[in-house]
Amino acid sequence: MTSKPMDKNAQKVVPLKERKCLMCKKLATFEMRPFCSKRCADLDLGRWLDGGYRLPTNEAPGDAEAGMEDDEYNQ
Ligand SMILES: [Zn+2]
């Protein structure tokens, strides 16, 4: 007689890769992936449109156009 312990490894279920929201790190939904909700998707889009396109630089802000008005003001 042989006994087969089949039930021991029966529950070895490999879970699918969980996708986490890029914004808040919650579990992403299938519809809104890679985000958890439309809100987070909009937030990410807003970030791209707002400041994501320009990379921040270390240059001094605003000084480039400082001396432009000198000619007209010199009368
Ligand atoms: Zn989210």
Report pLDDT digits (tens) over 11-20: 666 655 678 9
Answer whether residue 3 is part of any domain.
Answer: no
| Gap between the Cα atoms of 65 and 57, Å rounded | 16
Counted domains in the chain: 1
Residue recorded with tokens 């909700």? 37
* Ligand 1 centroid – CA 67 distance (Å): 46
pLDDT of residue 19: 84
Place 35 in a pLDDT band, splitting at 50, 70 and 90.
Answer: very high
Is 8 part of a structural domain of the chain? no
Q: Is residue 66 part of a domain?
A: no
Residue 45 has pLDDT above 70, yes or no: yes
Residue 73 has pLDDT above 80, yes or no: no
Question: At residue 39, what is the residue type?
Answer: R
Q: Do the Cβ atoms of 21 and 35 come closer than 8 Å?
A: yes
Residue 27 lies inside a defined structural domain of this protein: yes
Q: Quote the ligand 1 centre to 23 CA distance (angstroms).
A: 5
User: What range defines the domain where residue 44 resides?
Assistant: 18-50
pLDDT of 26 higher than 90: yes
Quote the strand ranges of the chain, DSSP E: none
Residue 64 lies in a domain: no
Q: How far is the CA of 3 from the centre of ligand 1 (A)?
A: 49
Ligand 1 centroid–CA 19 distance in Å is 11
Residue 7 falls within a domain, yes or no? no
Ligand 1 centre distance from Cα of residue 63 (Å): 39
Question: Is residue 65, in this structure, part of any structural domain at all?
Answer: no
Q: What is the mean pLDDT of the chain?
A: 74
In a domain, 41, yes or no: yes
What sign does the dihedral 52-55-61-63 (CA atoms) show? negative
